[in-house]
Amino acid sequence: MIWLRSLAFNIAFHLWTALMCFALLWMLLLPRPQMVAVVMWYLRTVGWLERTIVGIRYEVRGRENLPEGSFILAAKHQSAWETMKLHLLVRDPAIILKRELMWIPIWGWYASKARMIPVDRGAGGAAIRSLIRNSRPVRDEGRPIVIFPQGTRVAPGDYRPYRVGVGVLYESLDIPIVPMALNAGLYWPRRSFLKRPGTVIVEFLPAIPPGRPRAEVMRELETALESASDRLVMAAGGPPTSRPAPSGGTPERQAGPVASQAS
């Protein structure tokens, strides 16, 4: 039954998305806020398909932890599910994503119009500088900036070190970080055809205020985000993250230069 429902959902999702990509091209002529509103409508229709066909619902906790104005949303990234919910979870986010995604025909046009933040992950120090430069106007607009600190999707039970990008943004932009824990990978697994019924839990953790030492904040962010995600995953019957014990080095020294959305 799960296989059949997954097949039906995947067919419906891809056909609907392809249809909408072409049918909604006219909205690229709209002002950006109106275009984003139409995108949110599309995302709600995808949520309806999830609930109706495969039985995936979601619950949000900790909305009181979202600050007014701009902040960095450091989101756990387990599957494609959360990338399609970010505009429904926080107001008008700018998502940091790898530059190659902007080159995808049609999809990249929408991302550009929505003013996402592309980054060239292979450009080293230049990537960091462009990340900061492109994030400052977003901060000044009061929009949340979404970053995936591990730089790619990480399945429940797996571990990847946190990258320096989130710490650099925190230090450069002087705005709070809000960790976002979840357990979406249990129901919409990474690189999997199957989708499983259940309730995805998204939890916004207390904000880390600006102005603290970067290394200290990186350690606190990783500990809080991994612990909360483990708790949500284990409560739903999944495995805890195989996170290594702290080694005394800072996450900046353990990982690459920038974190961004991966395919």
Q: Is the pLDDT of residue 248 over 50?
A: no
What is this structure's pTM? 0.89
**Amino acid 249: pLDDT:** 41
Is a pLDDT exceeding 80 seen at residue 254? no
pLDDT at 88: 96
- 254 against 21, higher pLDDT: 21
97 touches 116 (CB < 8 A): yes
Query: Is the distance from CB of 94 to CB of 116 less than 8 angstroms?
Result: yes
* Max avg pLDDT among 150-164, 170-184, 235-249: 170-184
Per-residue pLDDT tens over the stretch 114-151: 999 988 766 667 778 888 999 999 999 999 999 999 98
| Count of CB atoms situated within 10 Å of the CB of 168 | 20
The length of the chain in residues reads 263
Report pLDDT for 122.
Answer: 63
Plot region of 162 (φ>0 → left; ψ -120 to 50 → alpha; else → beta): beta
Q: Which residue carries 């139409």 as its tokens?
A: 38
The pLDDT of residue 66 is above 80: yes
pLDDT recorded at residue 258: 54
**pLDDT value, residue 255:** 40
Residue 190: what pLDDT? 86
pLDDT category at 185 given cuts 50, 70, 90 is: very high
- The average confidence (pLDDT) of the chain is 90
List the structure tokens of 138. Answer: 């977003």
Question: What pLDDT was estimated at residue 99?
Answer: 83
Contacts of 105 (CB under 8 A, 6+ apart): none
Tell me the average pLDDT across 80-89: 95
What's the rounded Cα separation, in Å, for the pair 78 and 153? 5
Taking a C-beta distance cutoff of 8 angstroms, is the pair 90, 231 a contact? no
Residue 101's pLDDT is what? 83
Q: What's the pLDDT band for 261 if we cut at 50, 70, 90?
A: low
Q: How far is CA 238 from CA 88, 177, 180, 229, in A?
A: 25, 27, 18, 11
pLDDT band at 103 (very low <50, low <70, confident <90, very high): confident
pLDDT recorded at residue 259: 56
pLDDT band at 218 (very low <50, low <70, confident <90, very high): very high
The candidate with the shortest Cα–Cα distance to 110, out of 23, 169, 44, is 23
